[in-house]
Amino acid sequence: MRKSLLLAAALLPAAVATPLAAQEAPPPTEAVPPAAPSVFDGDWLTVGVGAMYTPSYTGSDDYELSPFPLVQGNLGGIGIAPRPAGVALDFIPDTRGETAFALGPTARLNRNRASRIKDPVVEALGELDTAIEVGAATGVSFPALLNPYDSLSFNLDAVWDIAGAHDGMSLSPSISYFTPLSRGMAASLSLSATRIDGDQADYYYSVSPAQALTSGLPGFAADGGWESAGANLFVGVDLDGDITNGGLSLALLGGYSRMLGDAKRSPLTSVRGSADQWIAGAGLGYTF
């Protein structure tokens, strides 16, 4: 699931918010006592790079390894959160230890079936255009549920294509639970889903009569609905054992999602691919 390919998984400060993936988790300041000095007090920035092993298109059973850059932080009271091939901003300042709200714009590139199609039959259908998806990201996070430093977050992204590719929109609700495991380690479990409209479903999952003739696939007219649902597990480790002082961090991500509705019934998934979608990733980042 492409919505779950969260670039946040490359670093410890991002406790998984995407594919199989859009979610946003609180920064690791909640993993330390409120009085402790931290690099996350005030302005901070994380930059890094990771590698993700993902399906070559949404619904594919062929996989590829791709690099992903990441930028995340808080500058001048504006939160910066990664999205798959994009970013989200949060204009609502938060107070550590209190219920936090998020609201701001989000934008990303959707290159599903725009390149790197490994299946020759799907490739015969032709490459699609890159969609530029712009919209809003909102959410709420509740701290200190099972221990003083954990949190439960609910988030929703709504985006529309403005580039004239699929001309549709999608909604991505998610819920994630974040908890520190030690002063230098944190984990997050996220559940997410994606709902697409008829325009987007038709663009990515339909097979026209002409395409059926050239590819040998059965014709199919896809309609909107739930595209996928899945779960991601994230584990992050600060390499000097202390989250609060920044520096280098390592993260591992594993995820599974299941294609749903017409996205599952499409011949691109049911004949040439698989409804089971897996992702794995690892990355390094530096926080200052």
Q: Is the pLDDT of residue 232 over 70?
A: yes
As a whole number of angstroms, the distance between CA 104 and CA 135 comes to 9
Three-state SS for 157? strand
Written out in words, the top-level CATH class of the domain with range 2-287 is: mainly beta
Higher pLDDT, 16 or 14: 14
In angstroms and rounded to an integer, the radius of gyration of the C-alpha atoms of the chain is: 19
Q: How distant, in Å, are the alpha carbons of 14, 108, 161, 251 from that of 130?
A: 26, 10, 9, 29
Asked if 17 and 6 count as a contact pair (C-beta separation under 8 A), the reply is yes
Residue 33 pLDDT grade (very low, low, confident, very high; cuts 50, 70, 90): very low
Q: Is the pLDDT of residue 8 over 60?
A: no
Contacts of residue 25, Cβ cutoff 8 Å, sequence gap at least 6 = 8, 14, 15, 16, 17, 141, 151, 153, 176, 178, 188, 190
| Low-confidence winner among 19-28, 134-143, 184-193 (lowest mean pLDDT) | 19-28
Q: What is the pLDDT of residue 36?
A: 62
Q: Residue 38: what are its φ and ψ, rounded to 5°?
A: -150, 150
Closest CA to 175 of 1, 4, 2: 4
Q: Other CB atoms closer than 10 Å to residue 31's CB: what's the count? A: 30
Could you state, in order of their start, the residue ranges of all structural domains in the chain? 2-287
Please give the single-letter amino acid code of residue 59.
Answer: G
Residue 42 pLDDT grade (very low, low, confident, very high; cuts 50, 70, 90): confident
Q: Is the pLDDT of residue 254 over 50?
A: yes
Q: What is the pLDDT of residue 99?
A: 96
Contacts of residue 206, Cβ cutoff 8 Å, sequence gap at least 6 = 220, 221, 222, 266
Q: What is the pLDDT of residues 82-131, one digit of tens each?
A: 887 889 999 999 887 899 999 999 999 999 999 989 999 999 999 999 99
Q: Is the pLDDT of residue 17 over 50?
A: no
Q: What is the pLDDT of residue 10?
A: 35
Q: What is the 3-state secondary structure (H, E, C) of 71-102?
A: EEEEECCEEEEEECCEEEEECCCCCCCCCEEE
Assigned token pair, 206: 């339909």
Mean pLDDT of 255-278: 98
As a whole number of angstroms, the distance between CA 212 and CA 287 comes to 50
Q: What is the pLDDT of residue 18?
A: 31
Q: Is the pLDDT of residue 26 over 50?
A: no
Q: What is the pLDDT of residue 157?
A: 97
Residue 7 pLDDT grade (very low, low, confident, very high; cuts 50, 70, 90): very low
Which H or E run contains 120?
A: helix 120-123
Mean pLDDT of 44-72: 93
| Low-confidence winner among 12-16, 34-38, 167-171, 268-272 (lowest mean pLDDT) | 12-16
pTM: 0.86
Asked if 136 and 107 count as a contact pair (C-beta separation under 8 A), the reply is no
Closest CA to 69 of 89, 85, 90: 85
Q: What is the pLDDT of residues 136-169, one digit of tens each?
A: 999 999 999 999 989 999 999 999 999 999 999 9
